[in-house]
Amino acid sequence: MSEIVRRQDVASAIEQVIVSGDLSKLNAEQRVTYVRQVCESLGLNAATQPFQYIVLNGKLTLYATRSASEQLRKIHGVTIFPLERTLMQDAGLYQVVARGRDNTGREDESSGVVNISGLKGENLANAMLKCETKAKRRLTLSICGLGFLDETEVADIPGARAVESVPAPQALRALQSHAQAATIEVPSTPAATANAAVQSPGRGGSAAHAGAPALPAGEEKAKTLDPQPDEYTYLVIQEVEYATSRGANPQEFMRITAANGDKYCCWDSGLFARLEECQGMEVKAIVQFPPPSLVERGAKPKILQVVGAREAAQKEESDESIPF
């Protein structure tokens, strides 16, 4: 009977959320249930974190991540036509208009606009790329009939505040207790196999040093976890690189190089796109560190979840260092 009452309470709470649009009325368990129901209704894989939380106008709500838009585009067969780009030099703005059609023949268009006033070089290029991404994702959400904000819009909304999806230490411990330590594998490219010191560039990144040889059988999993599991790790992602493990069941994984030279790895394919997108940004992540015995063999810390990301602090340059 108590189970029936509990389910009725959850259903009642979710009903209130649908009416008010405020997820803060739910507890952590109810929020997970709600997000899963949203994902199931849209055909999205909840494990890839298609939604994150944001406080907007005093209400806790959801915004769509890159994972959501990419999956929706595939599910609905969204085709994006050539983009229309406009540089408004006098206003200091750059606009991109995206038009598309889904598999039912429905057509729609959306635009993205960014401020490029005072930007030069790589910063200008990144702003223009962000504008294109914003236009395409807004088109995808619109043509699929969804009113969610896209993550490219969140940072530009005054007063909006992103909320960590795993704030409780208990949830963090549960996540790490089910995680496996990383294994270090030989690079997947023939050139790197012949010369284990250097690997050819992988998809999404430039060349990086290869890892140590694979660990012997029976020693692939770490037996201990990070001694301080409640702490987050902050790193600036400099480059990412895809590779494939060897063995009977090859698996694609990602190598991550931080700006300070530290090396990490990730085996969760649902995080690959997110990590690739965060190049050049400071990332707050949940990281599992291998025990010293495996570190000596070349094991790298394993990124389990990206909690948040922001632009990395830029060093001030003197006038002499600015190219003309």
Task: Write out pLDDT tens, residues 69-113.
Answer: 889 999 999 999 999 999 998 999 999 999 999 999 999 999 999
Last residue of a domain, which of 66, 97, 113?
66
Helical axes 66-75 vs 121-143, angle rounded to 10°: 50
Same domain, 177 and 228: yes
Mean pLDDT rounded to a whole number for the chain: 74
Q: Are residues 178 and 238 in the same domain?
A: yes
SS3 content of the chain, % helix, strand, coil (to 5): 35, 25, 40
Average pLDDT for 305-310: 86
Please check whether residues 277 and 236 belong to one and the same domain: yes
Q: Is residue 278 part of a domain?
A: yes
Q: Do 183 and 240 fall into the same domain?
A: yes
Domain stops at, among 21, 47, 66: 66
Identity of the residue numbered 176: Q
CA 262 from centroid of its chain's CA atoms: 20
User: Residue for token digits 């890839």?
Assistant: 48
pLDDT value, residue 4: 53
Query: What's the first-to-final CA gap in the chain, in angstroms?
Result: 75
Q: Which amino acid, 75?
A: I
* Domain assignment of residue 87, yes or no: yes
Q: Is the same domain home to 60 and 186?
A: no
Band (pLDDT 50/70/90 cuts) for residue 186 is very low
Check whether 174 has a pLDDT greater than 80: no
Based on the domain organization, do 208 and 297 belong to the same domain? yes
Q: Report how far residue 7's alpha carbon sits from residue 1's, in angstroms, rounded to the nearest whole number.
A: 10
Within 10 angstroms of residue 201's Cβ, the number of other Cβ atoms is 13
Identify whether residues 175 and 288 lie together within a single domain.
yes
Of 112, 146, 180, which residue constitutes the final position of a domain? 146
* Alpha carbon distance 61, 21 (integer Å): 7
The CA distance from 256 to 241, in Å, is 7
Does pLDDT of 271 surpass 50? Answer: yes
Contact 67, 48 (CB under 8 A): yes
pLDDT mean over 142-161 = 78
- pLDDT class of 163 with cuts at 50, 70, 90: low
DSSP state of 121: H
Same domain, 62 and 84: no
Share of the chain above pLDDT 70, in %: 67
Residue type at position 86:
T
pLDDT value of residue 293: 80
pLDDT at 155: 67
The beta strands (E) that lie in the chain are given as 51-56, 59-64, 79-80, 84-88, 93-101, 107-115, 149-150, 161-163, 198-199, 208-209, 233-244, 252-258, 263-266, 281-288, 302-311
Count CB atoms within 10 A of the CB of residue 208: 22
Q: How far is CA 102 from the centre of its chain?
A: 25
Strand order across the beta sheet in which 59-64 lies? 149-150, 59-64, 51-56, 161-163
- Model confidence pLDDT, tens digit, residues 129-138: 999 999 999 9
Instruction: Tell me which DSSP letter residue 239 carries.
Output: E
User: Quick one: average pLDDT of 177-204?
Assistant: 37
What tokens appear for 193 in the block?
């196999």
21 or 182: which carries more pLDDT confidence? Answer: 21
Q: Which two tokens stand for residue 255?
A: 């190598």
Q: Say if residue 186 is in the same domain as residue 82.
A: no
| The pLDDT value given to residue 250 | 81
Helix (H, G, I), strand (E, B) or coil at 71: helix
- Report the pLDDT value the prediction gives residue 246, as an integer from 0 to 100: 79
Is residue 251 domain-resident? yes
Whether residue 146 has pLDDT greater than 50: yes
- Residue 164: both structure tokens together: 């960590």
Residue 178 binned pLDDT confidence (cut-offs 50, 70, 90): very low
- Per the model's pLDDT, the better-predicted residue between 65 and 211 turns out to be 65
151, part of any domain: no
Say if 34 falls within a structural domain.
Answer: yes
Domain of 140, in residue numbers: 71-146
In the structure, what pLDDT confidence band is assigned to residue 61 with cuts at 50, 70 and 90?
Answer: confident
Q: Clarify whether residues 28 and 47 are in a common domain.
A: yes
Q: Give the pair of three-digit tokens for residue 150.
A: 């896209």
Are 231 and 258 contained in the same domain? yes
Same domain, 203 and 300: yes
Are the CB atoms for 37 and 11 separated by under 8 Å? no
Number of domains composing the chain: 3
What is the pLDDT averaged over residues 47-70? 85
